[in-house]
Amino acid sequence: MRCINFTVLRRGCQFQTRRIMTRTYPISRQLNKRLLTGGVEAEEGAAAAGAAGAAGGQMLKRVLGGIAAVVILYKTRLSNPIYEKMVGSEKVALESADVKADLPFFYKYDVKTAAQTMGPRLRSMETHLAKAMSNSTSPETAKRVEEIRTKGYSSGITVNLARGDKFAAAANVNELEKCFETIQDYKLNGGNLDEKEYTRVVTLGYHNKITALFTAAQNAANKGDANTCIGSVAEIETYLKSKVETLPSNMTNEDLASVQTKCHTKHVDNLLSQAQSIRKTGSRRETEARLRQARVYASAHSVGFDEENATSILQ
């Protein structure tokens, strides 16, 4: 059997190990170098991206600032003397009047304020138009003045119709009629009125008022309160004669007559009850007076009178 020389074997192993390490070391060194280089490049890229982002942000700020400056200059041009020298006082006056003739931008959200400010806006419009006419008598200027005036009073009509619609929904005819007066005034000054919309608001307002009055008349009839009931029905008839031609769809002339009859009947019953209460105190004369009052009232309003009940009360 061949003997193993351990010394030779150990030396051979050491030689192979040194050989492997010699070949591996350059690869490891190159890998480390690449890793380090990649980290530096990444940092440089991030720095470059940050610089580019900062530059972009600065550019955006400059653009937005420029736009804001242009908008401000445009909005304030009419009060800028330099702009007036460039285009002339007549053009500035016409532009100023045209701005006042526009609808208030907030009128759909705050109709009340819009309606309150429309009067001063139109007065300011007229002042600017007068200034424009004083600086020129050309047909073009006169035509433009009329166009702006029509636009302004039409805007006033639109705002007051919207305001009137709110009052109509609430059956507030007093404030509604003030809106109508303003609308008619603006119409006479050249404003355009949507007759269909105007009729709708008128009908809505008075129909709601008539409905409220009829409810009040019914409540009064249940109590026998003749004054309130008759007054409410009379006011309804006044609106039918001068404001609207028809009753609301849920009401008829028969309903008006019926509620009055009911009220008169209840009022007679109340007088009989009062006579009965008076008789309990023993005053026959006062009882007869109250019964006489009930009889006359029933006859005047064509309602029944219970003679048997009246006799029993006296007895």
User: Using one digit for the tens of pLDDT, what is the confidence trace for 116-125?
Assistant: 999 999 999 9
Residues contacting residue 187 through CB under 8 Å, at least 6 positions apart: 153, 157, 193
User: Using one digit for the tens of pLDDT, what is the confidence trace for 36-83?
Assistant: 555 555 566 666 666 666 666 776 666 656 665 455 544 454 555 565
How far apart CA 162 and CA 197 sit, in angstroms, is: 10
What's this model's pTM, rounded to 2 decimal places? 0.69
Residue 1 pLDDT greater than 50, yes or no: no
User: Using one digit for the tens of pLDDT, what is the confidence trace for 85-107?
Assistant: 565 577 888 888 999 999 998 88
- The average pLDDT across 168-187 equals 96
- The average pLDDT across 118-145 equals 89
- The average pLDDT across 186-208 equals 95
CA 248, 253, 259, 264 torsion-angle sign: positive
Nearest to 164 by CA among 216, 117, 202: 202
Domain regions of the chain by residue span:
89-193, 195-243, 260-315
User: Using one digit for the tens of pLDDT, what is the confidence trace for 212-233?
Assistant: 999 999 999 999 999 999 999 9
pLDDT class of 138 with cuts at 50, 70, 90: confident
Q: Would you give the DSSP letter of residue 4?
A: P
Higher per-residue confidence, 232 vs 108: 232
Mean pLDDT of the chain: 82
| Intra-chain end-to-end CA distance of the chain, in Å | 162
